[in-house]
Chain A
Amino acid sequence: MATRPAPARPFAAGLPADPASLLLQHEVEQLLYLEARLLDDWDLDAWLALYTPDARYVVPTTDLPEGDPRSDLVFIDDDRDRMAARVVRLQGRHAHREYPWSRTRRFVSNVMVTAADGDEIEATAAVAVWRFRGGESAPFVGRCDVRLRRVDGRLRLCRKRAVLDHEALSDHGALSIIL
């Protein structure tokens, strides 16, 4: 049986059309756009600073989009320490798939706030990451589910789960960049 990713939870009765909701939508979008820009600019230290100390970054495999890192094989299951190690690796000269760095451009759209409970907010977005290197070009296309938390008045990311739509990484060979 083909497994399909569970759709993100809809915000109860939709995000209300009030000024507070508009502001929240704007804040969430701006944070996701900022993250995309920092990654495209390879400003990875600044990217990492967008995440809380208890952050988690997960990418399930293409054949099991609902994969649970506690029991299934996933591509990436980073806590904050491994996110930092990933940054160090990508900034060095020995991540050979990314030395020299690829050129990337991330497109984030269809941003929807799916839940909000006090200082914790959940959102989902469609993402396309184009990657160019060594005469090759291939997009990573998928959905990004995030959890955000307001820390000292500013939104920070505390969960990111990037679910790829590809059946296999046939054109990519690896997931050498941060989605």
Chain B
Amino acid sequence: MDVGSLVHDRPDLGRFRVHRSAMVSPAVHELERQRIFDRCWLYLGHESEVPNPGDYARRVVAERPLFFARTRDGELAVFHNTCPHRGALVCRTDRGNAEAFRCFYHAWTFDTTGALVGVPDIEGYGPDFDRGEMGLRSPRFDSFRGFVFVCFDRDTEPLREYLAGAAEYLDLVADQDPGGMRVIPGSNRYGIKANWKLLAENSVDAYHTPFTHRSFFDYMAGAAGREAPAAGDRRGFGRSLGNGHGVMENDAGYGRPIAMWHPCYGEEARAEMQGIKDELIARHGRDKALRMCEKTRNLLIFPNLVINDIMAVTIRVFQPTGPAGMDVTAWQLVPAGEAGARLRRRLDSFLTFLGPGGFATPDDVEAVESCQQGFRSGGVEWSDLSRGMHREPRGNDELQMRCFWRRWRSLVAGTPYVEQYERGLTPGAVPETAPSPELTAAAD
């Protein structure tokens, strides 16, 4: 099955297109499970979600139930959420604090490091029963600047190497407060009836912003008493960050709690926000601080993690549930030192745009579901992602989507991943071939 044929990548011709069966085929979905989600580093959670010994939180990552915890010694631990005895879920609540984890089925008990510390009626087991081998199992995991990832493949490169250029962009978020960042309580959990890759694209797509989100800009302009910005007004660029990660970094077309004042925050916030900016300049120097304050960053970490540092900071992760479905969870990340009016300003800023009840996210959900429905129409085989191939990539071009797809193709097709520079590139090393019928067979 030549799955690589689903992506046609011809910088020499200014052509980049993705066959729509990549978004509807059950065969492709199964390949993605094996070759992407069982191989890549996947976002699990943030260390601030389990600050104290015994704290835990559970997750489903790539359809696998997992949970992570802070041990009695303050270390981070990640576990497969299954009892080594007979399989029952050990952690059955979303979050909490525990002295130990006890499986409700036969009451086997594990300490916060996962060690098996209690077995009822242990005399029933023979001399070869090794309690040391019956602890909770951990997947491979690692943490970078508080962001915790898991990987189900022993051979994948270390996390820091995997993150490549995305690490710099995680720094730009993590450095916003001397005390670090924290995830606040409450998360957005919603389903989208669309292929997960459409949300990956949408999350780093500035081309759609002034059109799809016009009502948001009208609202912000109304709050500021001025006209909404015209399409293409925001300057910026898109970047490939290596390994399929990408970013778009643009001038903010709205206020940012860290720290770009906008009339919607009110005159009384002006001096305080200048203070935030001054502190950042003192700590990071003018260039980095102004970049942190006045630019927005939409970061896509391959395959399914998005960190948007826009009118607030959101962590969004999406788990495919089939070729045409995904579960989305989004959290809000705030500077640990923010409280009172400053925190409320940020929380309010988040809600203007983001989340299922915001003034923009519902429109994105509608857009990607609309694409998925449109695929059923047939008549058009390929989706176009060539925008900006002929020029230095701008913020509303599609370079950051193409680097996602190039990495996708290399993983599902098992071909080497080569970082490409689009301009001045030698003509396409990958020949364009027609996808085979088994790939183009649409889902029911």
Contact = CB atoms under 8 A, between A and B. Distances in A.
Interface string A69-95: 111111111000110011011001011
A110 interface: no
Contacts of A71: 184-185, 343, 347
A98 B193 CA distance: 16
Interface stretch (B43-51, B211-219, B282-290, B293-301): B211-219
Count class of interface residues, chain B = 35 or more
Contacts of B369: 173
B215 A95 contact: yes
A72 B365 contact: no
Interface of B: 93-97, 184-193, 212, 214-215, 218-219, 222-223, 327, 331-332, 343-344, 347-348, 350-352, 355-357, 359, 361-363, 365-367, 369, 373
Contacts of A23: none
Nearest to A89: B215
Interface in A42-80: 59-64, 67, 69-77
List 9 tightest A-B contacts by C-beta distance, closest first. A73-B186, A168-B189, A174-B362, A1-B96, A75-B357, A170-B191, A76-B357, A169-B190, A94-B215
B405 to A, nearest CB: 24
A26 interface: no
21 contacts: A59-B357, A73-B186, A73-B347, A73-B350, A75-B355, A75-B357, A85-B219, A85-B223, A89-B218, A89-B359, A92-B215, A94-B214, A94-B215, A94-B363, A97-B363, A170-B189, A170-B190, A170-B327, A172-B191, A173-B193, A176-B356
B347 A173 contact: no
B212 A96 contact: yes
A27 interface: no
A174 B96 CA distance: 27
Contacts of A73: 184-188, 331-332, 347, 350, 355
Nearest to A136: B193
B186 A174 contact: no
Query: Which of the listed residues B189, B190, B327 has the most CB atoms from chain A within 10 Å of its own CB?
Result: B190
Given A71-B343, A77-B348, A85-B222, A63 B186 contact: yes
Interface of A: 1-2, 59-64, 67, 69-77, 81-82, 85-86, 88-89, 92, 94-98, 134, 136, 167-176
A175 B351 CA distance: 12
A95 B212 CA distance: 9
A74 B351 contact: yes
B370 to A, nearest CB: 8
A134 B193 CA distance: 12
Say whether chain A's binding surface is mostly helix, strand, loop, or mixed.
Answer: loop
A84 to B, nearest CB: 10
Nearest to A81: B223
A60 B186 contact: yes
Contacts of B93: 1-2
Given A1-B93, A77-B348, A173-B193, 16 more contacts: A1-B96, A63-B94, A69-B347, A71-B347, A72-B185, A74-B351, A75-B357, A88-B219, A95-B215, A96-B366, A168-B327, A169-B190, A170-B190, A173-B365, A175-B362, A176-B366
B363 A173 contact: no
Contacts of A168: 189-191, 327
A169 B94 CA distance: 16
A67 B185 contact: yes
Contacts of B187: 61, 63-64, 73
A108 to B, nearest CB: 20
Contacts of B222: 85
Nearest to A173: B365
Contacts of B218: 89, 92, 94
B309 to A, nearest CB: 16
Nearest to B96: A1
Nearest to B340: A70
Contacts of B215: 89, 92, 94-95
B96 A173 contact: no
B16 to A, nearest CB: 26
Nearest to B355: A75
Contacts of A167: 189
Contact of A77 (B96, B331, B332, B347): B347
A88 B344 CA distance: 24
A94 B184 CA distance: 31
B355 A95 contact: no
Contacts of B348: 77
A176 B185 contact: no
A6 to B, nearest CB: 15
A74 B186 contact: yes
A175 B188 CA distance: 11
Given A61-B186, A169-B191, A75 B366 contact: no
Contacts of A70: 343-344, 347
A2 B222 CA distance: 41
A85 B224 CA distance: 13
B366 A76 contact: no
A69 B357 CA distance: 13
A69 B94 CA distance: 20
